[in-house]
A and B are shown apart, each in its own frame.
Chain A
């Protein structure tokens, strides 16, 4: 019962704060949007705790809420956007259609998921799930190849940052 209550609180909070990232009045200012995203990450981290994925929960806070979002906020503050630069928000027909389409997909997704309660057994976590041991086992044995590939992905991202941002000093 407690788990249920916690889940709904955390899930509701995650969705609400995620919506606040883009929706006015909070999303009007990029800085508040980013702060709201951090809140959302904390809620999601709480959901991981409920799923017994403790390592993921800690990583979520450390990496996303900690490292990545600090960088985001740093960049937003560096840009120091004024209201004039942000411009007026406009509501276009395309946005309206987009909202409609997304809501249709969301409703369908909710219907599909709620009809799928039968396959719960399939998703039961096995012993050792979510521990550092279990995670290491997955990363360094079963998924060693994609794990190594991620290092190339990061290298590519670094090259990209340098190539696109570097200005010749002359």
Chain B
């Protein structure tokens, strides 16, 4: 906004009055909690990417993510819990397919952590991706541990910038489509968390795969059906 004012200065007072009336209070930023009270009682973990963008060739940072990233241990912040009764773990015995690239991994880290703590029997399959394996593999050592001890049945990774051809989570779904639909046929719940664009791409891939398998009209309704049964849940931004 300051950039805008700099570029288009408001000169007279009346105009400035109108300008001020247009402004809204800063809206709260919602973050998925990436920890489980079952595992770490009294703690809330967040997975925050410091939003970085450029205006006029100058680097700018997101208001809230920058604030959070500049905090030091011991600092206090104001927050409230925004309840989301949909995006929850199903029964312990049910299988989960989780698609959460980037910070979209947040709720799934909480899920996996809780399932490990309570000893849930259902199988867990995570699709994760980001730009680079070396620097952007969030919770790598925890995920390796969960793979090792069997909490994570499958972990499929897509690091988009590590090779010439860009690879995304939906490409991994395609590679494993037989197992993917088998899990869903067996009653697995499908979760998607992360960028809106990614979730659209994932939905399109699922539809395309069904069409390729000759599902016809059913392909269009597949995800809606799942949704109505409470077995397809999205948390996208």
Co-complex (A, B): no
User: Residues on B close to A: CB < 8 A?
Assistant: none
User: Residues on A close to B: CB < 8 A?
Assistant: none
